[in-house]
A and B are shown apart, each in its own frame.
Chain A
Amino acid sequence: MTGITENIWQAKTVAQRAAEALPESVWFALGYMVLGVVGVAAFIAVLGMGLIYAERKIAGHFQCRLGPMRVGWHGIFQTVADTLKLLLKEDVVPAQADKFLHILAPLFTLLGTILVLAVLPMSPIVHVSDVNIGVVYVGAVSGFGVLGILLGGWSSNNKWSLLGAMRAGAQIISYEISATLALLVVVLFSGTLRLSEIVESQAAGWWIWRAHGVGIVAFLLFFIASLAEINRTPFDIPEGESELTAGFHTEYSGMRFAFFFLAEFINMFIVAALTATLFLGGWMPFHIGDFAGFNAIMDMIPPGLWFTGKTAFLVFLIMWFRWTFPRLRVDQLMRLEWKVLLPIGFANLIAAAVVVLFNFYFFPVR
């Protein structure tokens, strides 16, 4: 990275701090680790509740309703109450279910999301672990999610659940390809697999606009494919309520249902955050090449706020989609992936390679 990035933005992750502290004191290192784990766990719980509340409120106003209004000011504690209710609810495991897998499935789903969260650079100082193959890691561990869904659907011993799980399996695996192709475009641009470096590589401008349209196509591809991966409308066919009652989690109740539910919302955050990191510069402020004055003004806003703002906008966009569109049919979904997104993705990847090869984007840094 050349001089555009200043060293104050050099990300220092919790894992690094732990590693640095280790020679001095084991307890310090352990403290950092506990901080990381507890931090992520608390973050998930709070974020999940926040997102659910936001979704309900936003959905309400999209639909000329008010949303939750009863618990606390404007229903602000509604999700807390709901969480409490879900925790206290009876956990029903169907008699004919494969009990072990039935219990395991929601844990897998949640695990996938937690592991991804650990590598997300949310700001230079809030970053649990900076893996040098971050992009590959994200692609790999998010597969836990589909494993959980498939297990859940299969172990429920319910044909509706199984249908939902099979739909989810087909859908998530198909769309993973497009998402990866779009991701590769960014990897090509930034020349690194490390997420923090991808962020830093956008110091001269976000990838979405710096590559003559290639970036925006990749952004759209990634966003659409990710929507499909997290089963949000218009791609919510695995749990399409009007078709499969609740799809793969039909037979789940209480806490285990809450796990699926939580994972769904955290996934939404992860998709938004990843998209922001890859294409919208993550915590990087809005910079235009060498315009130092403009860039300095943008730098006044702290990076954490930038990240939050971008993510929040994308989350809102996802919700907006959900409360506007009908859902696709199974075969249309597959057609969209294999006949539309995938060819575009390949063409875009080649175009990106050409752009990188000739150093053709705005404000080339190398």
Chain B
Amino acid sequence: MMQATDKQENPTRSGLVTAPELKRHGFFRNVFSGIKSLLEGMKVTFHYLSHPSTVVTQQYPENRATLKMMERYRALLTMIHDENGLHKCTGCQICHDNCPNASINVVTRSNPVSGKKELDRYIWRMDSCTFCNLCVQVCPFGVLKMDGSFEGAVYDRRLFVFTLNHYAGPAAGLLAKVADPEERKKMIEPRDRYSGPVPLNGQELAGVKALKKAESGCCGGSGGCCSDSQGSQGSKEMK
């Protein structure tokens, strides 16, 4: 048996490595070298059996406390809110236009006080998102970031469509210019995760049926209770 590790340089062409040929020998040499090769393989596997420290299994979810995703890991699109709960999104819709599969829907409104165009709802469809990161890259204000919280599984895919911003209103910079706190309060309106034109709020999207509106309350931000999609559909039809 020829050792496969033997590098056989081909002299005719430089910069080439040619595969070694497997040679046959006599019957007994074949048998013995064959048995030897088998034993060598068994040595490799036995090494791992006898060294439990080589185990690479991660005991998820038991290791949740120590499991750290890399900081750049792309699992969940989030809108950065500062310590006062303010974001910097102006509702310019660049991300909306750059999203390859229309997973981002930026709904704007005009401010009730100033009348300026501003963000109403930043709706993200996690179900169709491919996590290509283009939205994060193109945002001129650094509003978005990809978060590493990968535990996004839910029982109903309609829960994958939700609102990212915590309030509708002007961006942090603009809001800072408003001196009067009362005025400020008037300009902002809180937004929760499952409000607005999302299936949980009775709206249909392409390929996603709407959920009954009455149920949206129970789902809140956690999700999970609306697992029986068929059932909720049925109850809707009965009405």
Where the two chains meet, the residues of A that have a C-beta atom closer than 8 Å to any C-beta of B are 58, 60-66, 69, 320-321, 323-325, 340
Contact = CB atoms under 8 A, between A and B. Distances in A.
Contact of B45 (A62, A66, A69, A340): A62
Interface stretch (B47-55, B184-192, B205-213, B221-229): B47-55
A324 B55 contact: no
Contacts of A320: 42, 45-46
A63 B44 CA distance: 10
Contacts of A58: 49
B38 interface: yes
A65 B56 contact: yes
Contacts, number: 37
B57 interface: yes
A131 B55 CA distance: 47
B59 interface: yes
Could you say which of B42, B44, B49 has the most chain A C-beta atoms within 10 Å of its C-beta?
Answer: B49
Nearest to A320: B42
Interface residues of B, number: 15
B170 to A, nearest CB: 51
A323 B46 CA distance: 10
Given A62-B49, A64-B56, A325-B38, 20 more contacts: A58-B49, A61-B49, A61-B55, A62-B46, A62-B48, A63-B48, A64-B55, A65-B55, A65-B56, A65-B57, A66-B55, A66-B59, A69-B59, A320-B42, A323-B45, A324-B38, A324-B41, A324-B42, A325-B41, A340-B31
Nearest to B47: A62
A63 B54 CA distance: 9
Contacts of A323: 45
A325 B35 CA distance: 12
A69 B59 CA distance: 9
11 contacts: A58-B49, A62-B49, A63-B48, A64-B48, A65-B55, A65-B56, A66-B57, A320-B45, A320-B46, A324-B41, A324-B45
B59 to A, nearest CB: 7
A63 B38 CA distance: 17
A314 B46 CA distance: 15
A139 to B, nearest CB: 27
A340 B55 CA distance: 39
A325 B37 CA distance: 10
Interface in B176-211: none
A61 B41 contact: no
A308 B122 CA distance: 68
A60 B56 CA distance: 11
B143 to A, nearest CB: 42
A66 B53 CA distance: 11
Contacts of A60: 57
Contacts of B54: 64
A177 B68 CA distance: 58
Could you say which of B31, B42, B44 has the most chain A C-beta atoms within 10 Å of its C-beta?
Answer: B42
Contacts of A321: 42
B40 to A, nearest CB: 10
A75 to B, nearest CB: 11
Contacts of A324: 38, 41-42, 44-45
Nearest to B30: A340
Contacts of A340: 31
Contacts of B59: 66, 69
A61 B49 CA distance: 5
| Nearest 9 A/B pairs, CB to CB | A66-B57, A324-B45, A62-B45, A61-B49, A324-B41, A64-B56, A65-B57, A324-B42, A62-B49
Could you say which of A58, A66, A320, A324 has the most chain B C-beta atoms within 10 Å of its C-beta?
Answer: A324
A62 B49 CA distance: 5
Nearest to B31: A340
A66 B58 CA distance: 9
A61 B57 CA distance: 10
A324 B37 CA distance: 11
A323 B38 CA distance: 12
Contacts of B31: 340
Could you say which of A62, A65, A323 has the most chain B C-beta atoms within 10 Å of its C-beta?
Answer: A62
Nearest to B56: A64
Nearest to A317: B42
Could you say which of A58, A61, A323 has the most chain B C-beta atoms within 10 Å of its C-beta?
Answer: A61
A323 B49 CA distance: 11
A69 B44 CA distance: 24
A48 to B, nearest CB: 22
Nearest to B50: A61
A324 B54 CA distance: 17
A320 B45 CA distance: 8
Nearest to B62: A69
A66 B41 CA distance: 21
Nearest to B35: A220
Nearest to B42: A324
Contacts of A69: 57, 59
Nearest to B44: A324
A78 B163 CA distance: 42
A58 B45 CA distance: 11
A61 B41 CA distance: 15
A321 B41 CA distance: 9
A274 to B, nearest CB: 22
A320 B43 CA distance: 10
Contacts of B44: 324
Contacts of A61: 48-49, 52, 55
